[in-house]
């Protein structure tokens, strides 16, 4: 059996549930109150719900074979795990922030000052790399209030949009660490349980498809070369002969291609101009590497 630890709540929960569903491993029941475990459609793959901050240790110690959590938490814990895949969601930054009316403009201005954070190891490494001596104070919550009550001169905290900092009259002066969510694995489990790589491949196929679209169109044979020059497909378009044509004497071809979603608007208009018609744009669920 393979046990996958995923966040039990918070901003990482829904995207994690979603990507596993898209990968063909929907989780039964979801994270109901006080629920610790759940099954998937694969009888050998079970889910363990846990705090995102605890998942690196769970995976390192073998309580879970695989985990999904932020790279910031993995780095902060110094977890000895294998990082398998950047899942490309949960983007956030650890920022260095000071009171908006303070005189501090850059990290070097904080020499000898106190920094409050829930990420003491990352914070120490950041200031060590700059050669700036500070006192790091570990807090477990309400980090934003510490400069206003005299506990610290600055904070290092997670910021997704900057709204929380602004509400608390703080201004960011540097980015300490950038984070996304990763798929990680226990080193021994990865060596002995082949299905872990199947899980990675399934999730990777969803990521590969996310920003791609499948184009299908009919093209007069005389326009094929012009259409090929427009299409930046993954490995060139697939071309098939259409047996019945609306226009007698004209050979019509069916052309299929995978293209980047961001290019759809431009490409479709170019295709129409060079003779393509009956163009369909279809979302793609998965692209297997």
pLDDT at 247: 56
166 and 29: one domain? no
Same domain for 135 and 97: yes
Q: Are 219 and 142 within one domain?
A: no
Assigned domain for 289 exists = no
Q: Is residue 25 part of a domain?
A: yes
- The CATH number given to whatever domain includes residue 112 is 3.40.190.10
pLDDT given for residue 36 in this prediction: 87
Same domain, 186 and 79: yes
Q: What is the C-alpha radius of gyration for the chain, rounded to an integer number of angstroms? A: 25
CB contact at 8 A, 231 and 266? no
Q: Return the pLDDT at 236.
A: 75
Q: Is the domain of 58 the same as that of 185?
A: yes
Tell the residue number behind the tokens 């199947």, with chain if given. Answer: 198
Q: Look up the CATH number of the domain holding residue 228.
A: 3.30.70.120
The answer on 167 and 109 residing in a single domain is yes
Rounded CA-CA distance 35/45 in Å is: 17
- For residue 288, being part of any structural domain is answered with no
Q: What is the pLDDT of residue 248?
A: 60
Q: Around Cβ 30, how many Cβ atoms within 10 Å?
A: 13
Q: Give the number of domains in the chain.
A: 3
Same domain, 184 and 86: yes
Question: Looking at 157, 188, 209, which one is the last position of a domain?
Answer: 209
Is residue 58 located within the same domain as residue 126? Answer: no
In a structure prediction context, what are the per-residue pLDDT tens digits for the chain, which is 289 residues long?
Answer: 999 999 998 889 999 999 999 999 998 865 554 578 899 999 999 999 999 999 999 999 999 999 999 999 999 999 999 999 999 999 989 999 999 999 999 999 999 999 999 999 999 999 999 999 999 999 987 899 999 999 999 999 988 777 888 899 999 999 999 999 999 999 999 999 999 999 999 999 999 998 899 999 999 988 999 999 898 766 678 888 887 655 566 788 999 999 999 999 999 999 999 999 999 999 999 988 6
pTM confidence score: 0.83
Last residue of a domain, one of 189, 209, 229: 209
Structure tokens at 232: 């930046």
| 7 is a domain residue | yes
Q: Is 6 left (phi over 0), alpha (psi -120 to 50) or beta?
A: beta
Shared-domain flag, residues 72 and 186: yes
What range does the domain containing 224 cover? 211-283
Query: 107 lies in a domain?
Result: yes
- Are residue 154 and residue 16 in the same domain, yes or no? no
Same structural domain, 145 and 279? no
Q: Quick: pLDDT tens for 101-155.
A: 999 999 999 999 999 999 999 999 999 999 999 999 999 878 999 999 999 999 9
149-180 exposure pattern, b = at least 16 Cβ within 10 A, e = fewer: eeebbbbbbbbeeeeebeebebbbbbebbebe
Using the 3D structure, point to which of 135, 160, 179 is the last residue of a domain: 179
117 within 8 A of 95, measured Cβ to Cβ:
no
Cα–chain center distance at 41:
23
**Domain assignment of residue 164, yes or no:** yes
> pLDDT value at position 28?
80
Residue 159 counted as domain residue? yes
Tell me the two tokens of residue 235: 């490995």
75, 15: one domain: yes
pLDDT > 70 fraction of the chain, expressed in percent and rounded: 94
- Residue 9 maps to a domain: yes
């Amino acid at each position: 059996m393979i046990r996958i630890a995923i966040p039990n709540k918070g901003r990482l929960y829904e995207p994690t549930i979603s990507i596993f569903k898209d990968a063909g491993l929907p989780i039964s029941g979801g994270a109901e109150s006080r629920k610790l475990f759940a099954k998937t459609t694969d009888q050998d793959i079970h889910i363990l719900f846990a705090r995102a901050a605890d998942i690196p240790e769970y995976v390192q110690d073998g309580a879970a074979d695989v985990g999904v959590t932020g790279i910031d938490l993995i780095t902060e814990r110094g977890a000895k795990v294998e990082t398998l895949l950047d899942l490309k969601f949960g983007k956030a930054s650890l920022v260095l922030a000071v009171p908006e009316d303070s005189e501090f403009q850059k990290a070097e201005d904080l020499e000898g000052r106190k920094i409050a954070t829930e990420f003491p190891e990352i914070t120490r490494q950041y200031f060590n790399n700059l050669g700036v001596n500070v006192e790091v104070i570990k807090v477990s919550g309400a980090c934003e209030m510490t400069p206003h009550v005299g506990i610290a001169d600055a904070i290092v905290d997670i910021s997704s949009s900057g709204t929380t900092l602004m509400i608390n009259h703080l201004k960011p002066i540097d980015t300490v660490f950038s984070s996304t969510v990763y798929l990680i694995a226990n080193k021994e489990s990865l060596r002995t349980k082949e299905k872990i790589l199947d899980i990675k491949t399934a999730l990777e196929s969803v990521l590969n498809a996310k920003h791609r679209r499948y184009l299908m169109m009919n093209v007069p044979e005389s326009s094929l070369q012009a259409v090929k020059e427009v299409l930046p497909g993954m490995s060139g378009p697939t071309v098939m002969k259409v047996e019945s044509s609306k226009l007698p004497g004209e050979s019509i071809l069916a052309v299929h291609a995978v293209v980047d979603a961001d290019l759809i608007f431009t490409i479709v208009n170019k295709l129409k101009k060079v003779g393509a018609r009956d163009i369909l744009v279809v979302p793609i669920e998965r692209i297997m590497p």
